[in-house]
Amino acid sequence: MQTVVSALTAAAVMSFLLSTAAWSDDVSKEAKRSADARYKAAVKAANSDYKIASAKCRQLTDNAKDVCIQGAKANQIKAKAEAKAARKSTSAKVDAQETARMANYKVAKEKCDALSGNAKDACIENAKAAFQQ
């Protein structure tokens, strides 16, 4: 009798564990689908924001236009990197921070193009120091 009770108990526990594992798998699949949908929406928004910002930049001239476009690109790159990081692991978050730092450096460097001579050199050195290039 004890063997039958033990077998039934083991079967019940095994059934519970299998159903929990299946439920957990469904939950993780749904979480992945949800994360993917949020990622796609964020990328779409980043691309849309870039198009709007770059259209505004086209009204400018010379270096102001270049700085504006570089800033719009930087914002797009940062938004996409943040979306990827939100979808991925911690290492992706570190990559997103590095990507944002590089984008900000490019904007700072572009601003230096309006200068010349020693002022430009100093500006570039400051940008490198600020963004650890």
The C-alpha atoms of residue 106 and residue 20 are separated, in whole angstroms, by 50
Domain of residue 81, residue span? 35-130
Query: Is 47 part of a structural domain of the chain?
Result: yes
The number of folded domains in the chain is 1
Query: Is 19 part of a structural domain of the chain?
Result: no
Query: Is 27 part of a structural domain of the chain?
Result: no
Closest among 112, 113, 110 to 123, alpha carbons compared: 112
Instruction: Indicate whether this model's pTM tops 0.75.
Output: no
Query: Is 103 part of a structural domain of the chain?
Result: yes
Query: Is 18 part of a structural domain of the chain?
Result: no
pLDDT tens track of the chain, all 133 residues? Answer: 555 545 445 445 445 444 444 444 455 677 677 778 888 999 999 999 999 999 999 998 899 999 999 999 999 999 999 888 888 765 677 778 888 889 989 998 999 999 899 999 999 899 888 877 5
Crossing angle for the helix pair 62-87 and 90-112, nearest 10 degrees? 180
Query: Is 120 part of a structural domain of the chain?
Result: yes
Query: Is 96 part of a structural domain of the chain?
Result: yes
